[in-house]
């Protein structure tokens, strides 16, 4: 079976049972992927839908065709993971966005903590990283990529949600143990900065009754912890492996 070729299509360019690819997606289809008339391709709208389509016309900068099938919630997880991660230096946050998008995260919010060095982030660049990732892995939904926000402000949005804070110092609670003890539908996952959370922040977590979990005895970098924990949560819930 040949590999599925995914392209991002605007909702505005889906009319009845027809589609139009334009801009960079049309350029990639025509000049890089080299699609052909009557070839089957797969369109994702970033809202969760997959459109199976057949190409009927190819122009210099447009691809047109018909839609033969629609699949909702295409390759989406059974659980909604909202990831909050302290701002990271260099391209580390790019890596987190790319890989956690592949692993099914629902949203990513950079957090400004007491030990954060950076205070803002290039959201447009991160969105482009996520768009590449959904095409590569075959996923209909583009995760919500948010502007950086202070840690406490972000927590206030999820006061009644199930919140897991990764903390290497909590040796009694593995991530798997926390998940197996709680029936959950959504998870708010919090990853700290390279220097760890401050004592004040840790005390604040305890007043909010969050769940602390660890990923083993080895000390992981923040980006590694984010990718690993996202993948494990999705795997445990999807496969019911508790």
Could you give all domains of the chain from N- to C-terminal order, each with its CATH number? 6-71 (2.40.240.20), 80-239 (3.40.1280.10)
Query: What pTM was estimated for this model as a whole?
Result: 0.89
- Write down the pLDDT at residue 242: 46
Series of mean pLDDT values for 10-residue runs along the chain (242 residues): 82 94 94 94 95 94 95 90 90 95 95 83 94 94 95 81 78 78 80 84 82 84 92 77 48
Per-residue CA distances from 149 to 48, 169, 210, 226 (Å): 26, 25, 19, 18
- Write down the pLDDT at residue 206: 80
């Amino acid at each position: 079976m040949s590999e599925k070729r995914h392209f991002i299509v605007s909702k505005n360019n889906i009319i009845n049972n027809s589609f139009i690819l334009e801009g960079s997606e049309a350029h990639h289809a025509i000049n890089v992927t080299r699609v052909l008339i009557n070839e089957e391709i797969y369109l994702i709208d970033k809202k969760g839908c997959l459109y199976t389509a057949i190409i009927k016309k190819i122009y210099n900068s447009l691809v047109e065709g018909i839609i033969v099938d629609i699949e909702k919630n295409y390759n989406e997880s059974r659980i909604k993971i909202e990831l909050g991660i302290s701002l990271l230096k260099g391209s580390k946050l790019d890596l987190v966005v790319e890989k956690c998008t592949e692993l099914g995260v629902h949203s990513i919010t950079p957090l400004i903590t007491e030990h954060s060095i950076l205070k803002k982030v290039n959201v447009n660049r991160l969105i482009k990283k996520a768009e590449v990732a959904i095409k590569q892995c075959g996923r209909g939904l583009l995760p919500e990529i948010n502007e950086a926000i202070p840690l406490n402000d972000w927590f206030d949005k999820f006061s009644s949600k199930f919140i897991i804070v990764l903390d290497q110092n909590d040796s009694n609670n593995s991530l798997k143990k926390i998940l197996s003890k709680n029936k959950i539908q959504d998870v708010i996952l919090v990853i700290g900065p390279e220097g760890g959370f401050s004592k004040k922040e840790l005390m604040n977590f305890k007043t909010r009754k969050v769940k602390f979990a660890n990923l083993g005895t080895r000390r992981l970098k923040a980006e590694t912890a984010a990718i690993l924990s996202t993948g494990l949560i999705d795997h445990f819930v999807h496969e019911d492996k508790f």
